[in-house]
Protein backbone atom coordinates (compact mmCIF):
# COMPACT_ATOMS: atom_id res chain seq x y z
CA UNK A 1 0.00 0.00 0.00
CA UNK A 2 1.29 3.45 -0.90
CA UNK A 3 0.72 5.88 1.96
CA UNK A 4 2.18 9.24 2.96
CA UNK A 5 2.74 7.92 6.47
CA UNK A 6 4.33 4.58 5.62
CA UNK A 7 7.68 3.85 7.26
CA UNK A 8 9.28 5.64 10.19
CA UNK A 9 7.78 8.77 11.69
CA UNK A 10 9.42 10.27 14.76
CA UNK A 11 7.65 11.87 17.72
CA UNK A 12 9.96 14.83 18.22
CA UNK A 13 11.00 15.96 21.69
CA UNK A 14 10.83 19.65 22.49
CA UNK A 15 14.35 20.64 23.58
CA UNK A 16 14.59 23.07 26.49
CA UNK A 17 17.48 25.28 27.58
CA UNK A 18 18.71 24.99 31.17
CA UNK A 19 16.46 27.91 32.14
CA UNK A 20 13.43 25.99 30.84
CA UNK A 21 12.85 28.04 27.71
CA UNK A 22 12.38 26.32 24.36
CA UNK A 23 15.72 25.62 22.68
CA UNK A 24 14.92 26.41 19.05
CA UNK A 25 18.52 25.85 17.93
CA UNK A 26 18.44 22.36 19.44
CA UNK A 27 15.08 21.67 17.82
CA UNK A 28 16.42 22.72 14.42
CA UNK A 29 19.42 20.45 14.91
CA UNK A 30 17.11 17.57 15.86
CA UNK A 31 14.98 17.99 12.73
CA UNK A 32 18.10 17.99 10.54
CA UNK A 33 19.40 14.90 12.38
CA UNK A 34 16.15 13.05 11.67
CA UNK A 35 16.09 14.09 8.01
CA UNK A 36 19.72 13.03 7.60
CA UNK A 37 18.86 9.73 9.31
CA UNK A 38 16.30 8.96 6.61
CA UNK A 39 13.03 9.09 8.54
CA UNK A 40 9.86 9.38 6.47
CA UNK A 41 7.93 12.00 8.47
CA UNK A 42 7.95 14.16 11.60
CA UNK A 43 5.42 14.42 14.43
CA UNK A 44 5.42 17.62 16.48
CA UNK A 45 3.69 18.45 19.78
CA UNK A 46 2.84 14.91 20.77
CA UNK A 47 3.26 13.43 24.24
CA UNK A 48 7.01 13.06 23.68
CA UNK A 49 7.13 16.77 22.84
CA UNK A 50 5.84 17.63 26.34
CA UNK A 51 2.98 19.50 24.72
CA UNK A 52 1.05 19.54 28.00
CA UNK A 53 3.69 21.88 29.47
CA UNK A 54 3.81 24.35 26.56
CA UNK A 55 1.66 27.46 26.36
CA UNK A 56 -0.15 28.48 23.18
CA UNK A 57 2.57 30.89 22.03
CA UNK A 58 5.32 28.32 22.60
CA UNK A 59 3.39 25.72 20.62
CA UNK A 60 3.13 28.02 17.62
CA UNK A 61 6.85 28.82 17.86
CA UNK A 62 7.78 25.12 18.07
CA UNK A 63 5.68 24.29 15.01
CA UNK A 64 7.20 27.23 13.12
CA UNK A 65 10.75 26.11 13.96
CA UNK A 66 10.05 22.55 12.81
CA UNK A 67 8.46 23.70 9.55
CA UNK A 68 11.33 26.07 8.77
CA UNK A 69 13.97 23.45 9.60
CA UNK A 70 12.14 20.81 7.59
CA UNK A 71 11.83 23.13 4.57
CA UNK A 72 9.18 20.94 2.97
CA UNK A 73 11.39 17.86 2.84
CA UNK A 74 9.14 15.55 4.89
CA UNK A 75 5.44 15.39 5.78
CA UNK A 76 4.71 16.93 9.19
CA UNK A 77 2.03 15.72 11.61
CA UNK A 78 0.73 17.97 14.40
CA UNK A 79 -0.58 16.69 17.71
CA UNK A 80 -4.11 18.04 18.24
CA UNK A 81 -6.17 16.29 20.87
CA UNK A 82 -7.79 16.57 24.26
CA UNK A 83 -10.61 15.43 26.49
CA UNK A 84 -12.84 18.43 25.75
CA UNK A 85 -14.33 17.73 22.33
CA UNK A 86 -15.71 21.24 21.86
CA UNK A 87 -12.29 22.75 22.57
CA UNK A 88 -10.53 20.45 20.09
CA UNK A 89 -13.15 21.25 17.44
CA UNK A 90 -12.79 24.98 18.11
CA UNK A 91 -9.00 24.82 17.75
CA UNK A 92 -9.36 23.08 14.38
CA UNK A 93 -11.99 25.56 13.20
CA UNK A 94 -9.52 28.34 14.04
CA UNK A 95 -7.12 26.78 11.56
CA UNK A 96 -3.76 25.05 11.70
CA UNK A 97 -0.41 26.27 10.39
CA UNK A 98 0.23 25.97 6.68
CA UNK A 99 2.60 23.09 6.00
CA UNK A 100 0.93 20.59 8.33
CA UNK A 101 -0.06 17.43 6.47
CA UNK A 102 -2.18 15.68 9.12
CA UNK A 103 -3.09 15.76 12.79
CA UNK A 104 -2.45 13.05 15.36
CA UNK A 105 -5.38 13.08 17.76
CA UNK A 106 -5.19 11.17 21.01
CA UNK A 107 -8.29 9.48 22.39
CA UNK A 108 -9.92 11.50 25.21
CA UNK A 109 -8.08 10.86 28.47
CA UNK A 110 -9.21 10.96 32.11
CA UNK A 111 -12.95 11.18 31.27
CA UNK A 112 -13.05 7.45 30.34
CA UNK A 113 -15.79 7.73 27.68
CA UNK A 114 -17.72 4.80 26.27
CA UNK A 115 -16.96 3.50 22.77
CA UNK A 116 -19.88 5.54 21.43
CA UNK A 117 -18.50 8.63 23.15
CA UNK A 118 -15.10 8.01 21.54
CA UNK A 119 -16.75 7.55 18.14
CA UNK A 120 -18.75 10.78 18.47
CA UNK A 121 -15.62 12.65 19.62
CA UNK A 122 -13.73 11.67 16.48
CA UNK A 123 -16.81 12.21 14.30
CA UNK A 124 -16.92 15.83 15.49
CA UNK A 125 -13.21 16.22 14.71
CA UNK A 126 -13.53 14.60 11.28
CA UNK A 127 -16.34 16.96 10.32
CA UNK A 128 -14.19 20.08 10.83
CA UNK A 129 -10.54 19.07 10.38
CA UNK A 130 -8.87 20.84 7.44
CA UNK A 131 -6.32 18.00 7.10
CA UNK A 132 -6.27 14.23 7.43
CA UNK A 133 -6.52 12.58 10.85
CA UNK A 134 -4.46 9.86 12.50
CA UNK A 135 -6.24 8.31 15.47
CA UNK A 136 -4.06 7.68 18.53
CA UNK A 137 -4.92 4.78 20.82
CA UNK A 138 -2.73 4.69 23.93
CA UNK A 139 -4.71 3.15 26.82
CA UNK A 140 -1.71 3.31 29.16
CA UNK A 141 -2.02 7.10 29.15
CA UNK A 142 -5.74 7.63 28.53
CA UNK A 143 -7.19 4.85 30.75
CA UNK A 144 -9.53 3.82 27.93
CA UNK A 145 -8.96 1.64 24.88
CA UNK A 146 -10.39 2.43 21.46
CA UNK A 147 -11.69 -0.99 20.49
CA UNK A 148 -10.87 -2.48 17.11
CA UNK A 149 -14.58 -2.24 16.26
CA UNK A 150 -14.62 1.51 16.96
CA UNK A 151 -11.40 2.11 15.02
CA UNK A 152 -12.76 0.19 12.03
CA UNK A 153 -16.10 1.99 12.23
CA UNK A 154 -14.31 5.35 12.10
CA UNK A 155 -11.99 4.17 9.32
CA UNK A 156 -14.92 3.08 7.16
CA UNK A 157 -17.15 6.08 7.94
CA UNK A 158 -14.73 8.97 7.36
CA UNK A 159 -12.40 9.28 4.38
CA UNK A 160 -10.22 11.83 6.19
CA UNK A 161 -9.47 9.40 9.04
CA UNK A 162 -6.54 7.77 7.29
CA UNK A 163 -4.61 5.90 9.98
CA UNK A 164 -4.32 4.80 13.58
CA UNK A 165 -1.29 4.94 15.82
CA UNK A 166 -1.82 1.76 17.83
CA UNK A 167 -0.15 1.69 21.24
CA UNK A 168 -2.48 -0.70 23.05
CA UNK A 169 0.21 -3.39 23.15
CA UNK A 170 -2.49 -5.87 22.12
CA UNK A 171 -1.35 -7.67 18.97
CA UNK A 172 -4.69 -9.43 18.59
CA UNK A 173 -6.42 -6.04 18.42
CA UNK A 174 -3.82 -4.80 15.92
CA UNK A 175 -4.46 -7.84 13.71
CA UNK A 176 -8.22 -7.26 13.86
CA UNK A 177 -7.68 -3.70 12.60
CA UNK A 178 -5.28 -4.77 9.84
CA UNK A 179 -7.66 -7.52 8.75
CA UNK A 180 -10.76 -5.32 8.65
CA UNK A 181 -9.45 -1.94 7.50
CA UNK A 182 -10.57 -0.22 4.31
CA UNK A 183 -8.13 0.31 1.45
CA UNK A 184 -5.73 3.17 2.15
CA UNK A 185 -6.07 3.06 5.95
CA UNK A 186 -2.67 2.76 7.65
CA UNK A 187 -1.97 0.89 10.88
CA UNK A 188 1.01 2.50 12.59
CA UNK A 189 2.84 1.06 15.58
CA UNK A 190 2.94 3.26 18.66
CA UNK A 191 5.28 0.95 20.54
CA UNK A 192 8.90 0.89 19.40
CA UNK A 193 9.67 -2.63 20.57
CA UNK A 194 6.53 -4.05 18.90
CA UNK A 195 7.20 -2.32 15.58
CA UNK A 196 8.94 -5.30 13.96
CA UNK A 197 5.99 -7.55 14.88
CA UNK A 198 3.26 -5.10 13.87
CA UNK A 199 4.82 -4.31 10.49
CA UNK A 200 5.50 -8.00 9.82
CA UNK A 201 1.80 -8.65 10.49
CA UNK A 202 0.80 -6.11 7.84
CA UNK A 203 1.21 -2.77 9.57
CA UNK A 204 2.60 0.26 7.78
CA UNK A 205 5.32 1.57 10.06
CA UNK A 206 5.75 3.41 13.33
CA UNK A 207 5.60 6.74 15.05
CA UNK A 208 8.72 6.26 17.11
CA UNK A 209 10.45 7.77 20.11
CA UNK A 210 13.75 5.91 19.82
CA UNK A 211 13.82 6.48 16.06
CA UNK A 212 15.00 10.07 16.61
CA UNK A 213 17.84 8.83 18.79
CA UNK A 214 19.06 6.22 16.33
CA UNK A 215 17.42 6.95 12.97
CA UNK A 216 20.33 5.39 11.09
CA UNK A 217 19.35 1.98 12.55
CA UNK A 218 15.62 2.32 13.20
CA UNK A 219 14.66 3.61 9.75
CA UNK A 220 16.34 0.80 7.76
CA UNK A 221 14.91 -1.73 10.21
CA UNK A 222 11.36 -0.63 9.39
CA UNK A 223 12.09 -0.45 5.68
CA UNK A 224 13.51 -3.97 5.76
CA UNK A 225 10.37 -5.37 7.41
CA UNK A 226 8.21 -3.55 4.85
CA UNK A 227 10.31 -5.16 2.11
CA UNK A 228 9.97 -8.60 3.76
CA UNK A 229 13.71 -8.71 4.45
CA UNK A 230 12.92 -10.15 7.84
CA UNK A 231 16.30 -11.60 8.82
CA UNK A 232 18.20 -8.33 8.45
CA UNK A 233 15.32 -6.42 10.06
CA UNK A 234 15.29 -8.80 13.01
CA UNK A 235 19.00 -8.22 13.56
CA UNK A 236 18.47 -4.44 13.70
CA UNK A 237 15.42 -4.90 15.94
CA UNK A 238 17.51 -6.75 18.51
CA UNK A 239 20.31 -4.20 18.19
CA UNK A 240 17.84 -1.64 19.53
CA UNK A 241 15.81 -3.89 21.83
CA UNK A 242 17.64 -3.26 25.12
CA UNK A 243 18.20 0.46 24.61
CA UNK A 244 14.54 0.92 23.75
CA UNK A 245 13.50 -0.70 27.02
CA UNK A 246 15.91 1.60 28.85
CA UNK A 247 14.49 4.68 27.13
CA UNK A 248 11.13 4.14 28.82
CA UNK A 249 12.37 2.74 32.15
CA UNK A 250 11.96 6.06 33.99
CA UNK A 251 9.40 7.71 31.75
CA UNK A 252 9.29 9.41 28.39
CA UNK A 253 10.90 11.69 27.16
CA UNK A 254 13.55 11.64 29.90
CA UNK A 255 15.35 8.67 28.37
CA UNK A 256 15.38 9.85 24.78
CA UNK A 257 16.45 13.36 25.80
CA UNK A 258 19.43 11.81 27.60
CA UNK A 259 20.41 9.96 24.40
CA UNK A 260 20.03 13.12 22.33
CA UNK A 261 22.29 14.95 24.80
CA UNK A 262 24.84 12.14 24.54
CA UNK A 263 24.75 12.47 20.76
CA UNK A 264 25.32 16.23 20.96
CA UNK A 265 21.97 17.20 19.48
CA UNK A 266 20.20 18.97 22.36
CA UNK A 267 20.06 19.10 26.15
CA UNK A 268 18.10 16.80 28.45
CA UNK A 269 16.16 19.43 30.41
CA UNK A 270 12.53 18.53 31.18
CA UNK A 271 9.64 20.60 32.49
CA UNK A 272 7.86 19.64 35.69
CA UNK A 273 6.16 17.41 36.59
CA UNK A 274 8.67 15.35 34.58
CA UNK A 275 12.07 14.83 36.18
CA UNK A 276 15.45 13.81 34.74
CA UNK A 277 16.41 10.14 34.72
CA UNK A 278 18.72 8.70 37.39
CA UNK A 279 22.50 8.79 37.01
CA UNK A 280 22.52 4.99 36.90
CA UNK A 281 20.14 4.86 33.93
CA UNK A 282 21.98 7.73 32.25
CA UNK A 283 25.24 5.77 32.36
CA UNK A 284 23.57 2.62 31.02
CA UNK A 285 22.09 4.62 28.14
CA UNK A 286 25.47 6.21 27.47
CA UNK A 287 27.06 2.77 27.18
CA UNK A 288 24.35 1.70 24.72
CA UNK A 289 24.63 4.93 22.74
CA UNK A 290 28.38 4.48 22.43
CA UNK A 291 27.91 0.87 21.34
CA UNK A 292 25.33 1.73 18.69
CA UNK A 293 27.13 4.76 17.25
CA UNK A 294 30.79 3.68 17.31
Catalytic site includes residue 165: yes
Q: Is residue 293 part of a domain?
A: no
Q: Is residue 280 part of a domain?
A: no
Catalytic position from the list 41, 119, 122, 136 = 136
Q: Is residue 105 part of a domain?
A: yes
What percent of the chain stands above pLDDT 70? 99
What percent of the chain stands above pLDDT 90? 98
pLDDT in tens, 151-195: 999 999 999 999 999 999 999 999 999 999 999 999 999 999 999
Q: Is residue 2 part of a domain?
A: no
* Half-sphere CA count of 274, side-chain side, radius 13 A: 24
Q: Are 8 and 206 in contact (CB under 8 A)?
A: yes
Instruction: Cite the beta strand spans of the chain per DSSP E.
Output: 7-11, 41-44, 76-79, 102-106, 132-137, 161-166, 186-189, 205-208
Q: Is residue 64 part of a domain?
A: yes
User: Can you tell me whether residue 169 is helix, strand or coil?
Assistant: coil
CATH number at residue 214: 3.20.20.70
User: Which residues touch 271 (CB under 8 Å, ≥6 apart)?
Assistant: 16, 20, 50, 53
Q: Is residue 138 part of a domain?
A: yes
Backbone angles phi, psi at 166, to 5 degrees: -100, 110
Q: Is residue 182 part of a domain?
A: yes
Total structural domains within the chain: 1
Range of the domain at 72: 7-230
The annotation places the binding site for pyruvate at 48, 207
Q: What is the pLDDT of residue 2?
A: 52
pLDDT in tens, 37-48: 999 999 999 999
Q: What is the pLDDT of residue 221?
A: 98
pLDDT in tens, 31-71: 999 999 999 999 999 999 999 999 999 999 999 999 999 99
Q: Which residues pair with 41 in a beta bridge?
A: 9
Q: Is residue 36 part of a domain?
A: yes
> pLDDT band at residue 3, thresholds of 50, 70 and 90?
confident
Catalytic position from the list 59, 165, 261, 284 = 165
Task: Over range 263-269, report the average pLDDT.
Answer: 98
pLDDT in tens, 223-258: 999 999 999 999 999 999 999 999 999 999 999 999
Amino acid sequence: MSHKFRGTGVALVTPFAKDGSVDHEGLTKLVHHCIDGGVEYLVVLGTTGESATLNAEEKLEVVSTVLIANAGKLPVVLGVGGNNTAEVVSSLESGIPEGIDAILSVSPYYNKPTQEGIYQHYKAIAEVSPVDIILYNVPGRTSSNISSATILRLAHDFDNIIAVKEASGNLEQVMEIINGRPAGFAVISGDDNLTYSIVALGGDGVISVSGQGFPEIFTPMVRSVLSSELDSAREMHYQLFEVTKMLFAEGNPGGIKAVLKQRGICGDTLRLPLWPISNDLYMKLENETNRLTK
